[in-house]
Amino acid sequence: MTTTRNAPVWVTAVLALIGIVCVVVGVVYFAETAANLPSFFPGHDAHSTHHHTKHGIAAVAVGIAALVGAWISTGTKRTGRGAE
């Protein structure tokens, strides 16, 4: 019986990187007001004082999903049964 990875190592690395970035972006949405967001973030408004909570929730959810995908991709699968 042989075991192989569910996905190539680069897939795991990309998913982990996307997950970490999305979680950090979500935290920024929770912590900063719309006026203090970086100008390239969706929802940036120079004169606004409110937080974009929904953007933060969505970013954290996507980040967690990507991290779960990275975790699942590290697993192994069994192929063949071999001679018994």
In this prediction, residue 80 has a pLDDT band, given cuts at 50, 70 and 90, of low
Q: How do residues 21-39 score in pLDDT, each as one tens digit?
A: 999 999 999 999 888 888 8
Does residue 73 contact residue 15 with C-beta atoms inside 8 Å? Answer: yes
Phi, then psi, of 17 in degrees rounded to 5 = -65, -45
Q: What is the pTM of this model?
A: 0.81
pLDDT at 2 over 70: no
Give the pLDDT mean for 1-20: 87
Angle between helices 9-31 and 53-73 (to 10 degrees): 160
pLDDT of residue 26: 95
Does residue 7 contact residue 23 with C-beta atoms inside 8 Å? Answer: no
pLDDT at 79 over 80: no
Q: How do residues 34-71 score in pLDDT, each as one tens digit?
A: 888 888 888 888 888 888 899 999 999 999 999 999 99
Measured CA distances, 66 to 9, 26, 38, 60 (Å): 15, 14, 23, 10
